[in-house]
Structure 1
């Protein structure tokens, strides 16, 4: 059977969940939406290379891991298949267990026996035809189901009277039904992730698993078999040492707790607040928190006690502790290094070492910092800057005698522009002199000179001449001149100031308005 290749991110997540979170191969497979056999294969290959702990040693970076896993090959193994019908008959007595039957199976087939986990999985697969549906039993502290309510709440701006809608986030513990809810202005990534962080603070701990819907903020690509988690959402799970297992699309039974929790919040909180006016998000969340106390303290009909008493009895004692450091929202995105060795993050440009030109990096963006990684290694850190079109450059990132610096230099851009025409050369020189470092203008120069290929050098020269004459010297303005064909029109004649020779205190002349 051909080897299935997985991404380096998923490979490292397998190792983190196996050795850091101590999950079984089946639990890891559910979290990452891959088969348990793939988890077993890569775990065995990691063990053969001496990787049996988390975090990894410094010697194992992304590049060395990829090289080592590509060289290593899994060894096929022949397994003895049990007689599942006989095994089912032997399981009928109350004293019999699958563990005992597996131990006997291993004694009969010591060289080709399944592992206990795989033995159980194979038996349950065979048993599906006789048990097509099964009631879900939730372990204490294991699962937290999260979702958004369908209806929204209205918030009125007291100064303008503008009405905004707020989304209601709901989280429900599987064993106790203990419920958390809060309102946010959107279902965007930051609100989605930070709602989880505030929910963990509310619970006073972290569950083993988070079961979300296939929301765009949490799951980048929804798929029944292999959904891709958003990197920022995955980093939240790593920070809190928990596992995310997305529900299958169009399978509401996978998250029935969330569906019921959403319905209860809509009926017992949102319906009670429908006639109350709210003028801020904080005011709305204060009222939701007050009604949550009543909701969680209310006596349940089908279980003894309340959600709060069940939570304190079942879930709270076994929740994982909160991390020592508070979570800071970090947006993760892929960026590409341009020839000016800068990357673009929210319309601002940050420098990286020039040897990474044309490489793809991973940017981690917080409220204060922009940290850039290449193959898992940190290559640059900059204070976050919100200026559109600005540049943040570390002089140590600049090339000294590098091939890229020789190929792209101010002299080369000026020579290229000089071949097109005098006006183009003048405009390129203005671009290069407009920045503290000429390298920061390379992108604009390339954009200008590339217009000669699209419109012809003669038209570009005419457009630059017209732009200089009009004072429209930005790249976008030159592009507009070419798109609208203004370069083909003659420049308007300069009108003579007929009043210039008349001197009078009430006559100002044209120069007054410049």
Structure 2
């Protein structure tokens, strides 16, 4: 996950946001962004150059000097501007251009963003509404549809009891194209999946995504001039897809007026027609919602040129979206500001994972996914481990150890098994069996080193399968594993042994009952 310093430099070099938006997204003032932009231009830095630097290196490269200067803008007649906008329907962009043309020479002029913001503040005092123009790919607004059971379909569980669910809604600002997805809850993982599906639905990343202050994404809400703080999971999501995630002010629905209107449309045009239906899975409910959504986006709009939302998106909005990265974002749980111990291990979810020894006693961040653990320091990944589902275990990468520690660990079974843990459980079993049968730690350590070399040549899954084959034939030697891999025997299915079928008893087979009756008969005859 990037730090605010790295994110600030990257957003400036991308050139898609103004100073105000970058300041809000990176927790600094606009003057800081302005000075950083000037410094980066002087250096001739590129986005690729910034991505190679960590936070400390970037701060050493860019140390802006702060000057306290007071400036006043040349302001127009705001009462006339409001009258033209509200009473005569003149677009704000046209009024801004007129302001630039009529301004005196050498006057300090407002930017378009400052003009819009100042006009909005004057409009709020006069209780009027402003209509803003949006550029292609500029913004998506997202929110959740409130639960109104009387107007919404019912989701049932296996026992026929009603289940709760949440409805995620988003709208692309320029074309008004709407996206809807039903998820299980507003916890982090379902909401992250909803955001990923939203971006894939629109086919790219916008410049900004404006959201409500739901807990999965916002750690601290925006208050007055203090910007909101995002949760680490959503900050990483925005960094991965390279868009700005901007929460609205608390209890200010007009900050996301487009999606508020979209929520009303979804309630009436998608959910209400399904209100009498019963569903048993989220997939079934989402299929029905998707059918209604396609009808909604294909329906011609009553205002404007009569195009549908889909047509408007493809013709004018899609060109502004940034292509999605090739690698899909992998959701995970973040642990922030964790202290590495003196033994260069950090506690993550009940287990201890190693980092390079030179980073002992520093603070790191850790991301825990379903399959792996990623550890970061100053915005740069420093270690990756396969996640261990157990507790109380120590997972050590031998490459993280000092040379002296590595030699000592190779004399202990736990250290030798750690060398092959990433290959698979069968490799650990083979090493364990070799250690116990040979009772020679150095020989077992050499075997582990050769197994790691085999894993560099073959996929770990094949090496682990070859270890299993060697265990089955009771050959705990590395040469057996290498021969199995060379011959491709690890890719063959293990032989199946047919169970032994005993013959069923026949009537002519004499058993205990026959001999008992024979003995009784002889006793009667006096032969016994």
TM bucket normalised to smaller: 0.5 to 0.7
Closer, same or farther: CA 338–320 of 1 in aligned 2, 3 Å? same
2:460 matched residue in structure 1: none
- Which whole-Å deviations, capped at 9, do the CAs of 1:424-473 have from their partners, x for residues lacking one? xxxxxxxxx9x9369x9xxxxxxxxxxxxxxxxxxxxxxxxxxxxxxxxx
1:506 matched residue in structure 2: none
Task: Give yes or no for the alignment of 1:355 onto 2:354.
Answer: no
Deviation at 1:288, TM superposition (A): 1.0
Matched residue SS, 2:247: coil
1:278 matched residue in structure 2: 279
Task: Give yes or no for the alignment of 1:385 onto 2:384.
Answer: no
Deviation at 1:53, TM superposition (A): 2.4
Output the CA distance in 1 between the equivalents of 2:68 and 2:200: 47
Output the CA distance in 1 between the equivalents of 2:239 and 2:51: 19
Q: How does 1:49-68 map to 2 (within 5 A)?
A: 50=43, 52-57=45-50, 60-68=53-61
- Which whole-Å deviations, capped at 9, do the CAs of 1:193-248 have from their partners, x for residues lacking one? 22122112222233222111111111111123310122321222222222222111
Matched residue SS, 2:326: coil
Output the CA distance in 2 between the equivalents of 1:205 and 1:368: 27
2:400 is aligned, of 372, 397, 401, to 397
Closer, same or farther: CA 132–10 of 1 in aligned 2, 3 Å? farther
Matched residue SS, 1:233: helix
Closer, same or farther: CA 132–25 of 1 in aligned 2, 3 Å? farther
Mapped contact 2:351–2:391 kept (Cα < 8 A): yes
2:330 matched residue in structure 1: 328
1:366 matched residue in structure 2: 369
Deviation at 1:116, TM superposition (A): 5.2
Closer, same or farther: CA 401–255 of 1 in aligned 2, 3 Å? same
Task: Give yes or no for the alignment of 1:14 onto 2:16.
Answer: no
- Which whole-Å deviations, capped at 9, do the CAs of 1:266-297 have from their partners, x for residues lacking one? 22222222332222221111111111112222
Closer, same or farther: CA 182–81 of 1 in aligned 2, 3 Å? closer
Task: Give yes or no for the alignment of 1:314 onto 2:316.
Answer: yes
Closer, same or farther: CA 328–132 of 1 in aligned 2, 3 Å? same
Closer, same or farther: CA 288–21 of 1 in aligned 2, 3 Å? farther
Output the CA distance in 1 between the equivalents of 2:302 and 2:143: 24
Matched residue SS, 2:219: strand
Matched residue SS, 1:283: helix
Q: How does 1:52-451 map to 2 (within 5 A)?
A: 52-57=45-50, 60-68=53-61, 72-77=64-69, 79=71, 82=74, 84=76, 97-101=98-102, 105-106=105-106, 120=115, 133-139=128-134, 140-151=136-147, 154-158=154-158, 160-161=159-160, 163-224=162-223, 225-303=226-304, 304-334=306-336, 335-399=338-402, 436=414
Q: Report the number of matched residues.
A: 395
Mapped contact 2:36–2:64 kept (Cα < 8 A): no
Deviation at 1:55, TM superposition (A): 3.2
Question: What is the TM-score when the length of structure 1 is the normalising length?
Answer: 0.66
Matched residue SS, 2:164: strand
Gapped runs of 5+ residues in structure 2?
Answer: 85-89, 419-528
Mapped contact 2:123–2:130 kept (Cα < 8 A): no
What is the CA RMSD across the aligned residues, in angstroms? Answer: 3.9
Closer, same or farther: CA 200–346 of 1 in aligned 2, 3 Å? same
Matched residue SS, 2:165: strand
Matched residue SS, 1:436: helix
Matched residue SS, 2:48: coil
Output the CA distance in 1 between the equivalents of 2:162 and 2:346: 38
Matched residue SS, 2:163: strand
Deviation at 1:168, TM superposition (A): 0.9
Deviation at 1:128, TM superposition (A): 6.2
Closer, same or farther: CA 362–105 of 1 in aligned 2, 3 Å? farther
Task: Give yes or no for the alignment of 1:26 onto 2:27.
Answer: no
- Which whole-Å deviations, capped at 9, do the CAs of 1:165-199 have from their partners, x for residues lacking one? 22111111223221111111111222222212211
Question: What is the TM-score when the length of structure 2 is the normalising length?
Answer: 0.64
Closer, same or farther: CA 51–186 of 1 in aligned 2, 3 Å? farther
Matched residue SS, 1:266: helix
Q: How does 1:467-478 map to 2 (within 5 A)?
A: none
Deviation at 1:57, TM superposition (A): 4.5
1:44 is aligned, of 38, 43, 51, to 38
Matched residue SS, 1:56: helix
Output the CA distance in 2 between the equivalents of 1:119 and 1:278: 49
Deviation at 1:253, TM superposition (A): 0.3
Deviates more, 1:77-86 or 1:277-286: 77-86
Deviation at 1:366, TM superposition (A): 3.4
Deviation at 1:129, TM superposition (A): 8.6
Output the CA distance in 1 between the equivalents of 2:127 and 2:25: 23
